[in-house]
Amino acid sequence: MTARGRLLSFVGDVDTTTQQAAEGRLLEVHPSPWVASRPAAGEDLAERFRRELEALGGEWLDTAELGIEAVLAPWLRSLAEGLGRPLRVVVDPQLLTASSPVFDVLKSVAAGVLAVLPAVVPGTCGDGVPGTCATTAELAAADLGISLVDLAIAETGTLVERPRPGRPRALSLLPPHHLAVLPRCRLVAGLEDLFDHIDALEGDSEADDAFGAYFTWISGPSRTADIEKVLTVGVHGPGRLTVLWLDDALPAS
Amino acid sequence: MDINTRDFPARARQALGDGALRRALATSNKSFRHSRDQAVAEIPEWQALRTYGQQAKKRAVDALPTALNAFRDRFTARGGQVHFAEDAADACARVRAILERHGARRIVKSKSMVTEEVRLNQDLENHGYEVIESDLGEYIVQLAEEAPSHILAPAIHKSRQDIAELLHRHLGTAPDADIPTMTRAARVALRQRFLDADVGISGGNFAVAETGTLVIVENEGNARLTTTLPKVHIALVGIEKVLPRRRDLAPLLRLLCRSATGQQLGSYISFIGGPRRSGESDGPEEVHVILLDGGRLDLWHDPKGREALHCIRCGACLNVCPVYERIGGHAYGWVYPGPIGSVITPRFVGLGEAKDLAHASSLCGRCDEVCPVKIPLHKLLLENRAQSVEQGHVDAGAGLVVGGFARLVGSPKLWRWALALARPLYRLLRRTPVTRWGALGAWQAGRTLPSLEGPSFRQRWRRRHARGGGR
Amino acid sequence: MAETTAPRPRRVALFITCLVDFLFPRVGEATLEVLHHFGVEVDFPEAQTCCGQPAFNAGHRPQARTAALHFLAVFEDAEVVVAPSASCVAMVVEHYAPLFDDHPPTAQRFAALAAKTFELSQFLTEVLGVESIPGRWDGSVAWHHSCHGLRGLGIAEGPQTLLRSIEGLELRPLPGAEVCCGFGGLFSVKFPRLSTDMLQEKIDAFEASGAECLSATDGSCLMHIGGGLERQGSAKTAQHWVEILASAIAQVPPRQDLTRQDRPRLESD
């Protein structure tokens, strides 16, 4: 065995000036090749996103024509009917503000259809953030997790979520069904655009900390092909992923 | 994983005769290749993308001390912890030190080749910890007390019937359960393990120097669960996984996911920059990244081997390799199978320990063609062969033959005499009936040696000129 | 690679390769005949030996260097070097210069040698600009890509285009044409069963193709596949592509501007 610390001295024997100079070279910008799979200028991003999402086995709920109430309420009722009992739902606190159109729908269908975990009452969570703070146990018992998407990538049908106070990371992970609310203004074209937009997202005060502590990309439902390469959905994460498309309205935050 | 690379020829022979294994491999390789080829065909700029990937990895690996320093500085600035592990024992000890500090007993793991490399599961189990693999394929091979046989699809050597019987014994599913049923049963069994786990252990696909971000690509959601639910997350990552900048991720993720499974992106990609922040109700309170040397520094210091560190573990070279397709991953005798395995395994376990691996290739070069970061795999195999010879791992007979060859090849006169002498010997050899006599017998069992077409070309040329023919 | 504007070489040095010299001399003669047909004079430096590939592939670099230096001494002054084997040309083009990366002036000489060394189909199609072959050859051919030709030198369409141009010749698709036949030199000796298994896949694909003859740029693949066919008692054959070219060209009436003495005379005449 090598003497302890060989790797440490490999890394550590660099003085600050040398490190800064070398880092400068390492972090030089090298333009990456343009890739035609990125949406073209003028391409309908919503249409592209829908196509990619559906190709991955995700579902698309479009509110553009009928409005959110007419789309979401019957959808929730049909899920509850399918279960034969009230639907256990955990909701992103960002969607539980008085001005949120999603909140209005949840209130209107609540009785007998929804069992919101915890109750849909404005409360406080963590550092005094309004909303509800579901425990892991509640998330594990839920039928549906509803979250507001932070960003989405049309090219790949990908949803981007960052941790937010009061919204558990596992909200989009533990329940077997994930409903992601996606307003048009949060849709970007390609992967490269995402890395530009993520800097502008709220929540990171440190100027040089563009990526923050955590974020996750979700492209379609959970899947595996570990047995004989046969595609099977819903192995550990949600087996169903539905995107609620809000063509114009961004729920007030 | 135990090192069984010395037994490669015997293991390969055995695998070659295993009909069920052969069928499983043929199906899976074909499926992998088909998905990859389709996904690559969608990107007309694929070759430019490969060049970018190659250069990005080269920038990071060439500046490895800088890149690792930068990663550590950024990651620790957010409260994460970075450790440097020299070898397997060091890595395992560091993991155990963290577990002990937290009084942890139950550990849930998501897929990680580095943890296989350092034999973490055995180490932890020997110390009384309960370790459960959560990737479906890894879970299956763990239940079967086997090792993974493919970088991406650990249980690809098993048929659905094998797996149904296995899950019947362990989870009580029907002995002929279908794949969705088995998948659901595994989900239910593993869900409670995630909720109960004290510590989650993962690998990592990329470590971004610029931002101090560990990137994990997966499809099942088990890596998200592993890195979200337990209070402590430990990632074991090879030091070569660094990328310079966050913008390198777009091309590299395209290269990795399309090459690996033919997807545009894995279903879930997690970008982990440290522990949970205030106001968050879940996510680990402590995140550790253990960066492993394990032979990589030696490879780094060898200018003729360093490119092997560019590998992003997509598995594409396995899926096109005619040798891998015939023998599967277990024959290779260690963690990394296929062409990349034959390149890096001898460097990690010793060239003498694994000298046959570099020869387990017809040098057909299909691996070079698909490698998303353009690693010249067949040249690295040749380099391993040469270094193996330099270190003296040569059969006495081969040494004599090669010594004789060197004498002849530099002397046209001796060369001509040798060829003339070889003719009657060759005729004799051809007339020898097929025997079980060593390699020649096995060779001749599959093919005849061609008959000599009269005089050699040299003799014919001379006669032509004697007659004044030719021009 | 030669520029299209470069003067057309009139004289080439033939690098015959061990396998052709010893086992397949008719491939060498066919090479002469084809080159002569296109007006190229051929030298055969008799001091040539082996390119060193067997030693190189086995990891014996010092011995491979000996072979490379001898090759350089024999061929360095040639205008152009041509060989009917992609594998041996790939050795010269791909591996010689890096073998001497500890001595840049020598490496440079090898790089210059590499730039003027061509596999026969490369020379015909890329340097001479040959687009079709006269004469006729009746039969169906399946094309097998030699690994060193396809992936080492990038030879894909050239030889097939020339074969396709021959009257009476039907080129049939070979499924998995780009897959290795399992020879690999030392590989087939170290792992004969693995190698045989790969060979079988190739033979099965060839049998299914319906073609009568399998052809390729390399005697090594053809020896391997042909040996497998013979062992299995198949009526089908494996034949070097240049032999097919020469047979077709042999059907063409002799050119008037050549005296009888100028015409290439072959041992088999």
Reduce the secondary structure of A141-191 to three states and give it as a string: HCCEEEEECCEEECCCCEEEECCECCECHHHHCCCCEEEEEEEHHHEECCH
Please report how the helices A101-113 and A68-83 are oriented relative to each other, as an axis angle in degrees rounded to 10.
30
Nearest residue to B160 via CA among A225, C131, A32, C80: A225
**Are C and B close enough to touch, i.e. 3+ CB pairs under 8 angstroms?**
yes
**pLDDT tens sequence across C86-121:** 999 999 999 999 999 999 999 999 999 999 999 999
pLDDT number for residue C268: 44
What average pLDDT score do residues C241-264 get?
Answer: 75
Residue B49 lies in a domain: no
Residue scoring higher pLDDT (C128 or B442): C128
In sequence order, the 6+-apart residues with CB closer than 8 A to the CB of A103 are A95, A96, A97, A120, A251
Say if residue C66's pLDDT is above 90: yes
Residues A62 and B68 sit within 8 Å (Cβ to Cβ): no
Look-up of token digits 């942890």:
B104
Residue of B92, B179, B227, B265 for testing the chain A interface, max A β-carbons within 10 Å: B265
- Tens digit of each residue's pLDDT, chain A (253 residues): 444 588 988 887 778 888 889 999 999 989 888 888 889 889 999 999 999 999 999 999 999 999 999 999 999 999 999 999 999 998 888 888 777 888 888 888 877 788 876 644 444 444 444 455 788 888 999 999 999 999 999 999 999 998 777 788 999 999 999 999 999 999 999 998 888 777 666 544 444 466 788 999 999 999 999 999 999 999 999 999 999 999 875 544 4
C190/B398 Cβ within 8 A: no
Using the predicted structure, report yes or no on whether residue B202 has a pLDDT greater than 90.
Answer: yes
Query: What is the average pLDDT across B399-426?
Result: 93
Angle, helix B64-77 to helix B46-62, in steps of 10 degrees: 80
Instruction: Examine the domain organization and report whether C36 and C120 are in the same domain.
Output: yes
Predicted local confidence at residue A207, as pLDDT: 43
Q: At what angle do helices B46-62 and B249-260 cross, to 10 degrees?
A: 120
| Residue tagged 């000599």 (tokens) | B452
B334 and B419 fall within a common domain: no
Q: How far does A78 lie from chain B, in Å, by closest CA?
A: 23
Do chains B and A touch, with touching meaning 3 or more CB–CB pairs less than 8 Å apart?
A: yes
Q: CB-CB: which of C41, C185, C267 is closest to B455?
A: C267
For an interface test with A, the pick among B267, B272, B298 (most A C-beta atoms closer than 10 Å) comes out as: B267
Neighbours of C254 (CB within 10 A): 10
- Mean pLDDT, to the nearest integer, of B418-430? 91
Last residue of a domain, one of C83, C108, C127: C127
Question: Does B240 contact chain A (CB < 8 Å)?
Answer: no
Is residue C265 one of the residues assigned to a domain? Answer: no
Q: Residue B386: closest CA among chain C residues belongs to which residue? A: C59
Query: Mutating which of A226, A228, A231 best tests the B interface, going by the most B Cβ atoms within 10 A?
Result: A226
**C108: domain range?**
11-127
Domain extent for B263: 60-294
Regarding whether C200 and C101 lie in a shared domain, the answer is no
Contacts of C203 in chain B (CB under 8 A): none
pLDDT at position B148 over 70: yes
**Residue B52 is assigned to a structural domain of this protein:** no
- Confidence at residue A115, expressed as pLDDT on a 0 to 100 scale: 80
Q: Does some domain include residue B305?
A: no
Give yes or no: residues C176 and C95 share one domain.
no
What total of structural domains would you count in chain B? Answer: 3
pTM reported for the whole predicted model? 0.93
Taking only the tens place, the pLDDT of each residue in B228-259 is: 999 999 999 999 999 999 999 999 999 999 99
Looking at the fold, whether C30 and C87 belong to one and the same domain comes out as yes
pLDDT (0 to 100) of residue A103: 84
Same domain, C88 and C35: yes
Query: How distant is the Cα of A105 from the closest Cα of chain B, in angstroms?
Result: 26
Contact C58 B461 (CB under 8 A): no
Does residue C25 share a domain with residue C101?
Answer: yes
Nearest to B446 by CA among C19, C198, C23: C198
**Is residue B304 in some structural domain?**
no
Q: What is the ipTM metric for this complex?
A: 0.94
Enter the CATH code of domain A45-205+212-246: 3.40.50.10420
| Residue C167's CATH number | 3.40.50
Q: Which of B420-434, C42-56, C58-72 has the lowest mean pLDDT?
A: B420-434
Arithmetic mean of pLDDT, B32-36: 97
Shared domain check, B289 and B254: yes
Q: Are B43 and B224 in contact (CB under 8 A)?
A: no
Q: Which tens digits make up the pLDDT trace of A160-194?
A: 998 777 788 999 999 999 999 999 999 999 998 88
Helix C25-37 vs helix C241-250: angle between axes, to the nearest 10 degrees?
Answer: 50
Q: Domain check: are C151 and C65 in the same one?
A: no
* Chain B interface test: which of A161, A235, A240 (most B C-beta within 10 Å): A235
Is residue B307 situated within a structural domain?
no
Assess whether pLDDT exceeds 60 at residue B410: yes
Structure tokens that stand for B251 in this block: 């091309």
Q: In what order do the strands lie in the sheet with A214-218?
A: A187-188, A151-153, A158-161, A214-218, B268-272, B213-218, B206-208, B242-243
**How far is the alpha carbon of B88 from chain C, nearest alpha carbon, in Å?**
30
In angstroms, the CA A59 to CA B94 distance is: 44
pLDDT surpassing 90 at residue B467: no
User: Which domain CATH number covers B243?
Assistant: 3.40.50.10420
Partner residue opposite B250 with nearest CB, options A13, A136, A195: A195
Structure tokens at B199: 């510590």
Q: Find the CB nearest B279 among A129, A227, A238.
A: A129
Closest Cα in chain B to A237: B221
Interface of A with B in 130-189 (CB under 8 A): 133-137, 140, 155-158, 163-166, 168-170, 173-174
Pairing assessment for the beta strands B268-272 and B213-218 based on DSSP bridges:
antiparallel
Q: Verify that B425 and B328 share a domain, yes or no.
A: no
A230 and chain B in contact, CB less than 8 A = yes
Q: Provide the pLDDT for residue C255.
A: 61
Mean pLDDT of B2-7: 92
Using CB atoms, pick whichever of C44, C63, C192 lies closest to residue B443. Answer: C192
Contact B110, B218 (CB under 8 A): yes
Which of C94, C193, C223 would you mutate first to test chain B, the one with the most B CBs within 10 A?
A: C193
What's CA C146's distance to the chain center, in Å?
9
Phi/psi at A84 (5° precision): 75, 20
Judge whether B447 lies within some domain. yes
Last residue of a domain, one of B373, B394, B415: B394
Kindly determine whether residue B389 and residue C54, on different chains, have CB atoms separated by under 8 Å: no
Residues of B within 8 A of A237 (CB-CB) are: 220-221, 224-225, 267-268
pLDDT per residue as tens digits for the range B96-133: 999 999 999 999 999 999 999 999 999 999 999 999 99
CA distance C8 to C16: 22
Are residues B269 and B135 part of one domain? Answer: yes
Question: Is C174's pLDDT higher than 90?
Answer: yes
Look at C227 and B323 and tell me if their CB atoms are within 8 Å.
no
Judge whether B43 is closer than 8 Å to chain A, CB to CB: yes
Which of the residues B325, B405, B440 would you substitute to probe the C interface, choosing the one with the greatest number of C C-beta atoms within 10 Å?
B405
Q: Record the tokens describing residue A115, joined without a space.
A: 């069992």
Do B386 and B339 fall within a single domain? yes
Check whether residue B161 and residue B276 sit in a common domain.
yes
Total domains in chain C come to 2
How many other C-beta atoms can be found within 10 angstroms of the C-beta atom of residue A20?
A: 12
Q: Is residue C67 part of a domain?
A: yes
The pLDDT tens digits for C114-165 are 999 999 999 999 999 999 999 999 999 999 999 999 999 999 999 999 999 9
Measure B352 CA to nearest chain C CA, in Å.
14
Do B385 and B409 reside in the same domain of the chain? no
Q: What percent of chain B has pLDDT over 70?
A: 98
State how far the Cα of A37 lies from the Cα of C39, in Å rounded to an integer: 50
- Helix/strand/coil (H/E/C) assignment for every residue in B199-236: EEEECCCEEECCCCEEEEEECCCHHHHHHHCCCEEEEE
Distance between CA atoms of residues B99 and B222, nearest Å: 20
The tens digit of pLDDT for each residue in C205-244 reads: 999 999 999 999 999 999 999 999 999 999 999 999 999 9
Considering the domain architecture, whether residues B387 and B411 belong to the same structural domain is answered as no
Assess B184–A contact: CB distance below 8 Å, yes or no. yes
Q: Do B236 and B375 sit in the same domain of this protein?
A: no
Task: Answer whether residue C264 shows pLDDT above 90.
Answer: no
Q: Do C189 and B415 touch (CB under 8 A)?
A: no
Contact residues, chain B, for C57 at CB < 8 Å: 363, 382, 385
Distance, in angstroms, between C171 CA and closest chain B CA? 24
Helices (H), B322-395: 322-327, 338-349, 366-370, 377-390
Which of chain C's residues have a Cβ under 8 Å away from the Cβ of B391? none
* pLDDT at residue number B387: 97
Select from B195, B219, B271 the Cβ nearest to the Cβ of A224: B219
Check residue A118 and give its pLDDT: 60
Give the end of a domain, one of B394, B423, B446. Answer: B394
Question: Are there at least 3 beta-carbon pairs closer than 8 Å between C and A?
Answer: no
Using the Cα atoms of residue A93, residue A95, residue A98 and residue A104 in order, give the sign of their dihedral.
negative
Does some domain include residue C259?
no
The predicted-structure confidence for B334-354, as pLDDT tens digits, reads as follows 999 999 999 999 999 999 999
pLDDT at residue number C127: 96
B266 CB neighbours in chain A (<8 A) are 219
pLDDT score at A113? 83
Is the CB of residue C242 less than 8 Å from the CB of residue B435? Answer: no
The side-by-side arrangement of strands in the sheet containing C81-83 is C41-43, C11-14, C81-83, C117-119
Q: Chain B residue with minimal CA distance to C16?
A: B457
